[in-house]
Amino acid sequence: MMYYLLLLATLAVGAWSAHVALLQAPADAMQGNVQRVFYFHVPLVWVSFIAFIGGAIMSVRYLMSRRLGHDAWARAFIKTGWAFTTTVLVTGPLWAKPVWGVFWNWGDERLVSFFVMWMMYNAYLLLRATITDFEKAARIGAILALLALLNAALVVAAIYIWKTASHPGPVFVKKAGSGIMDPVMRQAFWSSFSAFTLLFLSLLVARFKYEKAVSGAMENAN
């Protein structure tokens, strides 16, 4: 029952945020309508990081307790986070092309570190799919999830360390003249932020249900 309420809330907030972000919010003075990509690109990044932090916490708990339930949570977090990260990597270049003139800039440290992070989670999924010894895969996967989280921290810090031209600073800043200022734009951003967080939670719960059953089957097999 709670899960269906969560799904209902996701749909309602999602529809509202799509309306505000795509129809109500004004077009950006410099970037035009393509700036609306920002309303889902940034929340997707946020959700990806939440997923990977969750995955790393559950991996640590697995390494400490060796309980497959924790590993199931870690897999659920990371697989869901992977889907959101992939969406970030697709929507980002589609925004960049009309604004920067290129799909990708290999000179931008934030982009490259984000790409490396995505590759590390690909490696995680590949490892989990190929190692037949389930407990060994869980152990190595947990270590890899922790390493990938270190890279995720580098992605966040990249704009402060390298001060990249493409990502000059955080979106919400107190400094005048930067970040989003228009109240409808802010509303669009926060509604989208809530919608993607709810969507993430819905997918995470469903995915955990599946991963838990897989872990249960593996435990019974041993």
Partner 1 sequence: MQIRKILLAVFVICSAALSAADFETATLGNELAARTEKFLSGSTAEARSGIAGFSDAELQKVTNEFKKSHTTAEQRIFWLSEELYRRNAERAAAERIRYLYYAVLAALLILAGFSFMTWRQAGRISRAAAPVTPIAKIPDVPPPALGRKNSKPQKGRSRK
Positions touching partner 1 (CB under 8 A) are 22, 29, 31-34, 36-37, 40-41, 44, 80, 83-84, 86-87, 90-91, 94-95, 97-98, 199, 203, 206-207, 209-210, 213
Shortest reach from residue 71's CB to partner 1, in Å: 16
DSSP at 157: H
Question: Nearer to partner 1 by C-beta: 91 or 151?
Answer: 91
Shortest reach from residue 212's CB to partner 1, in Å: 9
Question: Nearer to partner 1 by C-beta: 27 or 150?
Answer: 27
Shortest reach from residue 64's CB to partner 1, in Å: 27
Question: Nearer to partner 1 by C-beta: 66 or 97?
Answer: 97
Question: Nearer to partner 1 by C-beta: 104 or 162?
Answer: 104
Shortest reach from residue 145's CB to partner 1, in Å: 19
Q: Which residues contact 15 (CB under 8 A, 6 or more apart)?
A: none
DSSP string, 42-92: HHHHHHHHHHHHHHHHHHHHHHHH--HHHHHHHHHHHHHHHHHHHHHHHHH
Residue 32 pairs in a beta bridge with 28
**Alpha carbon 15 to chain centroid distance?**
20
Q: Which residues contact 13 (CB under 8 A, 6 or more apart)?
A: 191, 194, 195, 198
